[in-house]
Structure 1
Amino acid sequence: MRTVYVIAHPESTHHVECLVGGWYDSQLTSAGLRAADAIADALRARIAMQVDVELFASDLRRAARTATVIGNVLQVPPVLDPRLREKSYGEAEGKPREWLDRRFVRPPVLGERMRHDEGISGSETIAAFAQRVYAAMDAIRQRDCDHQIVVTHGGAITFVVAAWTMLPIEALGYARFHAAPGSITELREDDYFHNRQVVRLGDTRHLSRERL
């Protein structure tokens, strides 16, 4: 049985400063670092010491640092993959959220949503975002390892989960799977039918214990 643990990186400086994230290369806050420790401990409790583990992460600092903390505990080096980055918001990245909100063009209720132009120069379409996350997940899924960890971003979780369940990209115009910062999503594939499950989506119980 294969299990994939998908981590949404924890609190970063752009969260607390109310800045647009995307490819803006923000860092983990002190709270984010404590959450990364809690994530690593939670994964160590779920994954036996003697089994092989693979660890993949977005190359943006907030995800890469989270992966480094996890890798130190599980004794596995992270493989950084830019395809696991958050959606690019082009010229909005690093700017105040209100700057983006004033210019953002919402997708239509009906019609073309995946290739919709959001009105922000250099911003990725949802279709382009989905395609690169799907490519990363296809490469991960083709590897022969029963325990894999993917450290990515909250917006990317939708396409990680959708890729895992083999949903066609063109069907995702309205689909969103929410996973809070620092959460763990658990995906599983059985060895007999090769059915793929979403066992847990956005689990944050380990963070509650960390705050005690």
Structure 2
Amino acid sequence: MRHIYLVTHPEAQHHVDGIVGGWHDSVLTARGHQQAERIADVLASRIGQAADRRDDAEPASEPVEVYSSDLRRASQAAERIARRFSVEVHTDARLRERSNGEADGRPQAWLAERRIPLPEYGDRLAHHDGPTGAETRLALVERLYPALADILSRPATTQIIVSHGSASSYLIAAWIGMPMTSTDRVFFPLTSGSITTLHRNNTHFSHQVLTLNETAHLLG
């Protein structure tokens, strides 16, 4: 059995400032840090192996691995989660959000004025949105698929991945075995701070999506 908990990072400063995210290295807001704690609560309850919050806490009895994008808004959330299990965070730049190039860190309105709309037909994966240095969707999946493959090659049966909205959508596609060339239309709308649960069944070796975009823990 293998369980993967895919977490989209919670509220970050670029969300409230109306700034383009991508590779812009924004941090979590105070609310985002609170949401990260709630995410940690949920995961600790479900995994059932969390150490308590004391400095001398014993590590979890079974290995729990935490992986994260190296951008601060994701790694800050991952660090709060990892603390519950007394483990380190493995950061990987391949888990970053799709880069918007020169638009990253600029107002959303700046990008909206320059964006080249994604066509309904044609080579949607190779489409370039316009801003210099922006990644195509093909470039995104070409780094995310190997990143997930490397995580799955590890022996741990419980893994937590903290990434970003669009990136996490394509990680789900990779998990279910969708060919890269078929990802030109797939997209799972994921809310900031959501949890998606992925499971590998050892009886017939299926890759299952048990829950998608859970957000109840963000209420209140």
**Which TM-score band applies after superposition, normalised by the shorter structure?**
over 0.9
SS of the residue 1:155 aligns to: helix
Give the aligned partner of residue 10 of structure 2: 10
CA distance in 1, matches of 2:120, 2:174: 24
Q: How does 1:44-59 map to 2 (within 5 A)?
A: 44-49=44-49, 50-59=61-70
What is the Cα deviation at residue 175 of structure 1? Answer: 0.6
1:116 aligns with 2:127: yes
Q: How does 1:41-80 map to 2 (within 5 A)?
A: 41-49=41-49, 50-80=61-91
What is the Cα deviation at residue 141 of structure 1? Answer: 1.0
Contact 1:20–1:93 (CA under 8 A) maintained in structure 2: yes
Contact 1:40–1:74 (CA under 8 A) maintained in structure 2: no
Give the aligned partner of residue 31 of structure 2: 31
TM-score normalised per structure 2: 0.93
Give the aligned partner of residue 157 of structure 1: 168
What is the Cα deviation at residue 51 of structure 1? Answer: 2.0
RMSD: 0.7
Render the CA deviation track for 1:105-147: whole Å, top value 9, x for unaligned: 0111111100012111000000001111111101011111110
Give the aligned partner of residue 180 of structure 2: 169
CA distance in 1, matches of 2:105, 2:188: 24
What is the Cα deviation at residue 194 of structure 1? Answer: 1.0
Give the aligned partner of residue 198 of structure 2: 187
Give the aligned partner of residue 84 of structure 1: 95
Render the CA deviation track for 1:32-76: whole Å, top value 9, x for unaligned: 000000000100000122321011000000000000000111211
Q: Say how many residue pairs are matched.
A: 209
- Match of 1:153, as an amino acid? H
CA distance in 2, matches of 1:200, 1:26: 28
Contact 1:157–1:178 (CA under 8 A) maintained in structure 2: no
CA distance in 1, matches of 2:119, 2:192: 28
Render the CA deviation track for 1:9-31: whole Å, top value 9, x for unaligned: 00000000000000000000000
Moved more, 112-121 or 16-25: 112-121
- Match of 1:106, as an amino acid? P
SS of the residue 1:51 aligns to: coil
Identity, in percent, stands at 41
Unaligned 5+ residue runs, structure 1?
none
CA distance in 2, matches of 1:148, 1:178: 22
Q: 1:103 aligns with which of 93, 114, 126?
A: 114
Unaligned 5+ residue runs, structure 2?
50-60
SS of the residue 1:124 aligns to: coil
